[in-house]
Structure 1
Amino acid sequence: MNELFPLWAPWEVRSLSDLCSGADASIQTGPFGSQLHASDYVEVGTPCVMPQDIKGGRISTESIARISEEDLLRLCRFQLRRGDIVYPRRGDISKRALVGERETGWLCGTGCLRIRSNASAVDPAFLANYLSHPEVCAWIEGNAVGATMPHLNTGLAAAIPVVCPPIEEQREIAAILGALDDKIELNRKKAATLEEMARALYRSWFVDFDPVHAKAAGRTPAHMDATTAALFPDNFGEDGLPEGWSAEPFIDQALWVNGAAYKNMHFSTDADALPVIKIAELKAGVTANTKFTATDLGDRYRISRGELLFSWSGNPDTSIDAFVWPLGDAWLNQHIFAVRDNGRMSRAALFCALRYFKPEMAEIARNKQTIGLGHITRKDLEAFPVSVPPETVETAFETQVAPLFDRYCACLYENQTLATLRDTLLPRLMSGELRVGEAKEQVVAVA
């Protein structure tokens, strides 16, 4: 069998079907729609992995569906175990997730394909990394069925050529790449905790008004020094806001710059052209590899690392969201606002507000959606009130939230460095161009 890229080492190439034979190894689709309906999902039960749950090589539980114990027993042959690899069967068929200990016993859902390899023939973690090789992804997409929406079936998956170093070397390669993935995941969890802390502080001060309620009841505000507590009033006005505060349109708290509608004439193959950033890249986890680059359209649409972005169009549950841009200079595409400081709310406070009010924004978009897509307009932002305190309170909030936000951004930036290193090492390790010892030195230097 022919390899998909030049090899620097005398390694054999085998089909995925060969590596998924013997014992109970297999390539299997999830249950068909007739076997499992949306109406079967329950609030509490076993998670059922769907295509939208596959994110960044892992399985996300953010909006995962669940099934009852009865349905799990009925569909037990579709259960997952550690070392399985799950693919979407349609749409973005190049993404995949390696099943870990946490997901053992979960269900491979409708719309997914499960790859269970023979562990004596190939290391599952090595295989999962190999399947993320750019040339492998390109081969899968190029051979997929379907003109408008590519489909991945068991026959296509079975035909994937897999480079197979000796099993011990497979494990060493997987361990090197896994160390980077583990560090990325640790940073992701740190960032999530920091964001939660910042959002909780925003809610306490500017939504629930905890310090004001405490002082009105004659108590000292919790977790607050006397100087900061003195900045808050001890009573509320007739409008329900703390005395001296006001409600103002969200749109007035920042400059909301919508991206450009790029056309074919703007795209460029020049080496110094900048990437065009779209919602899909923001959601999937941005990498340095983007499909489009564009020529200069003016500084208004040029973004740089650290800019706050708000995607205002798409699926209300998954696309309406705020992001911090972690890469270098790029062009902003339509359907995304660059949310820039106008002297009112700081970038950290704006990020806290956008993430805190995400459910309300999603509901606004959901009420206006057509064909599953919703949107947030400038008029919506004009009609969306936020509480605005005196400048002294804003300054005190910035003093407390800025360190959290800076550490959050640092996690994003470090993850971008780690992901870039991983994407650089992976094809060289898989081809044998870079040997394990050299790669370890590079990983130790950053991880």
Structure 2
Amino acid sequence: MRNDWVQTTVGDLIRAKGGSIKTGPFGTVLKANEYSTDGVPVISVGEIGYGSFRLHRATPRVPPAVLARLPEYVLKAGDIVFGRKGAVDRSALVRNSEAGWFLGSDGIRLRLSDECDPSFFAYQIQSPATRAWLLQHATGTTMASLNQGVIERIPVVVPPLFEQREMAGILRPLDEKIDLDRRMNQTLEALAQALFRSWFSQFISRPEVQVPVKILLDEGALAIGDGYRAKNSEMADTGLPFVRAGDVSDGFALDGADLLGDEALSKAREKVSRRGDVVFTSKGTVGRFARVTARTAPCVYSPQLCYWRPLIQDRVNPIFLWHWLRSSEFWAQAAAVKGQTDMADYVNLRDQSRMKISLPPIEDQMEIAQVLEPLDERIDHNRTESRTLAALRNMLLPKLLSGESRVRDAAAQLAASA
């Protein structure tokens, strides 16, 4: 570390330069009946990724009346938001386009003073070293959790402000390209869903194509399952990523996932991913989806997830299945059963097997698959490119923070890899 840099903590930085930490509102402050289907997104742990926010169908929202009543929970550009429970090593910087979103009960936001560059500290908090520190110092025995005290103790390096801005400026183009890929995917996804919805409308009201899911299971054309119930002792330094609900949000986020050891893999068997699987969160926040493609690294599903696996593709086309599972026909059936317990929302395997699917003839399935496959392929390519760029950013970041690499050296390395 350079001599003119200061090693301190987030709490001491706030006390020296200003800023604040705020935990999201609890149920006594924001009632369940105040959520709505429109308004601004509520950012809780399920919406927080590694460096960005991930909205999905199940993301709750609040209307303007809530924002006016609880302005202290409205997020501003430059805020850094942490997940309070579960995936506590995740955090994201609020960008200009996300200002005005609402801090959820499972979130904690850090707001620094104008004497600090928020992008620089967001990158630092997202570094592998700080993520490991958060996991090590989180509280809780059954589920890791953060509080304001833990965040205050996060160690940070504080260079002069002009150097903070220089380092953030080196890394920012990588994040901008990642964000461009994300926004392009949103457009492509909206187009694909619109095409599928328009095409599928000709079949959804025809009783002759409605097939009980159980028939497809009995035929061996389809398999449905949940994840492997792993023990903590089965986690190891080597093995396959163990995918939990927090790792799924319109794709897999396997960086930082625990590894299920080689000895346990023989017991996991059918719970190991296969190309063509469609996976969704079936407990808690129901309805976040991912698809296993040729680019997806092998992984093992946890019990918070369910998978639908097409086994006879001349009966159930994988691309058709991927889009059907995110259609209104599936969602209406899932919504009808997910709240049957007093606990968190849950769509169990029995309820899934009792569903019905409007299954067009395979020729029609293949016709729409040929239209949608190039869009799905481009979306998958963009996700892979974003992961590569994020890996490059994460490689440069610790070198910059330690002083091992100067800004001009990092700039040269980025130019060479372009």
C-alpha distance in structure 2 between counterparts of 1:265 and 1:31, whole Å: 32
C-alpha distance in structure 2 between counterparts of 1:270 and 1:98, whole Å: 30
C-alpha distance in structure 2 between counterparts of 1:35 and 1:143, whole Å: 28
Alignment map for 1:183-332 (pairs within 5 Å): 183-208=177-202, 240=206, 246-250=209-213, 252=216, 254-256=221-223, 258=225, 261=228, 263-264=230-231, 267=234, 269=236, 271=238, 273-283=239-249, 285-295=252-262, 296-297=265-266, 300-303=270-273, 307-311=276-280, 313-315=282-284, 317-319=286-288, 321-324=289-292, 326-332=295-301
Contact (CA 8 Å) 1:316, 1:362: kept in 2 or not?
A: no
> 1:428 maps to which residue?
399
Change (3 A) 1:428 1:336: farther
C-alpha distance in structure 2 between counterparts of 1:37 and 1:330, whole Å: 38
What is the identity, as a one-letter code, of the residue corresponding to 1:437? R
Change (3 A) 1:168 1:307: farther
> 2:325 maps to which residue?
354
C-alpha distance in structure 2 between counterparts of 1:290 and 1:367, whole Å: 29
What secondary structure is seen at the aligned counterpart in 2 of 1:374? coil
> 2:114 maps to which residue?
119
C-alpha distance in structure 1 between counterparts of 2:70 and 2:45, whole Å: 18
Contact (CA 8 Å) 1:53, 1:64: kept in 2 or not?
A: no
Q: Once the two structures are aligned, what percentage of the paired residues are identical? A: 29
How big is each residue's C-alpha offset from its partner over 1:307-352, in whole Å with a ceiling of 9 and x where there is no partner? Answer: 4332363125345x34335432334445432523512233222211
- Which of 407, 413, 418 in structure 1 is aligned with 2:378? 407
> 2:61 maps to which residue?
65
Contact (CA 8 Å) 1:250, 1:386: kept in 2 or not?
A: no
Structure 1 unaligned residues grouped into runs of 5+: 1-6, 211-238
- Which of 384, 389, 392 in structure 2 is aligned with 1:418? 389
What secondary structure is seen at the aligned counterpart in 2 of 1:315? coil
Structure 2 unaligned residues grouped into runs of 5+: none
Change (3 A) 1:149 1:346: closer
Change (3 A) 1:339 1:419: farther
User: CA offset at residue 127 of structure 1?
Assistant: 0.5
- Which of 396, 410, 414 in structure 2 is aligned with 1:439? 410
Question: Are 2:366 and 1:366 equivalent residues in the alignment?
Answer: no
Contact (CA 8 Å) 1:47, 1:107: kept in 2 or not?
A: yes
Contact (CA 8 Å) 2:230, 2:302: kept in 1 or not?
A: no
User: CA offset at residue 197 of structure 1?
Assistant: 2.2
C-alpha distance in structure 1 between counterparts of 2:106 and 2:230, whole Å: 33
Question: Are 2:141 and 1:147 equivalent residues in the alignment?
Answer: yes
What is the identity, as a one-letter code, of the residue corresponding to 2:62? R
Taking structure 1 as the reference length, what is the TM-score of the superposition? 0.76
Contact (CA 8 Å) 1:303, 1:331: kept in 2 or not?
A: yes
What is the identity, as a one-letter code, of the residue corresponding to 2:291? F
More helix by share: 2
Change (3 A) 1:100 1:322: closer
C-alpha distance in structure 1 between counterparts of 2:72 and 2:81, whole Å: 15
User: CA offset at residue 125 of structure 1?
Assistant: 0.4
Structure with higher Rg: it is 1
User: CA offset at residue 427 of structure 1?
Assistant: 2.6
User: CA offset at residue 9 of structure 1?
Assistant: 7.5
Alignment map for 1:96-111 (pairs within 5 Å): 96-111=91-106
